Structure 1
């Protein structure tokens, strides 16, 4: 029984330490970019440097873990909304949650996010996000709530587009993104929709930036 209790305690400590490390790393990377050291992150978390490496073998693994947290939250939101009766409202809520996530973590995304695409787990999660967004979008198409040529890939790409459009305004006007979200939602509506000049994108695939053509 004592051994079981000790093992449970160690697992709880591991979960706590990982949470502290990810919180400290998110702040440090957002402030300093990739130059933030593992030692400083450990210090911010109140942990020994060796604890960092027990959880994350390299700085790249730590960066990917932060990005995966964000993607998991977005996938979870999409899955939670999948059974909603009103598909248009569900899609609106998903897009609102998505842009809110990007805005909340904008410093990390702008400074650090792209290198995380080298991690296969991040690319796989982006693919799962695209699938979840497509399921939501398909229901909205079936209900006639959005134009018939809109795909889940369009939706995921729009999340980033809305964030980037509002980015110059956010330091002084942190809610400005809501204006551009509403403009995007207006463009998704089926009523009065014209023909788009380019075919719908296929399944969302993010190439590894380290790959050379």
Structure 2
């Protein structure tokens, strides 16, 4: 009797030669990378979440799979090695969510400042520069590393190539798929 993972692979994947020797599993649809032969047990999350349709990469063909659809739940899932989450009709996207994409430069600046604001960062501020936002903060007196307490630090946050929708609600499965793409891109 076939295991659930073997059954999933027979429906969704082909075993092909790997460019690094050995074999790898790729999607039947366009050859997106799934896993190496011998590491199939790592796909249990796809099986457990019922992700059986439209499994593919959000990047060009041959790259690792990052989204897929659960037909029973009517949800699109997005993932990376860090996280996985499902989106259906009615799913929301709010500022601070992984899949939030700012609408313009000012929204981006505000989102960058929000991201870098935490207990150990005080006086967080941001400013627009040529192709990025510069975010600076002062380390609080509570930060465990005593040597950096009171010191100023910062980072550059480069503007995205495309602006997003900001806060929104998925009205269709196509919208839910876009949320899954945005999520996968954010956690990758």
TM range (shorter): under 0.3
Report the structure, 1 or 2, having the larger strand content. Answer: 2
Relative to the length of structure 1, the TM-score reads 0.22
Report the structure, 1 or 2, having the larger helix content. Answer: 1
Relative to the length of structure 2, the TM-score reads 0.24
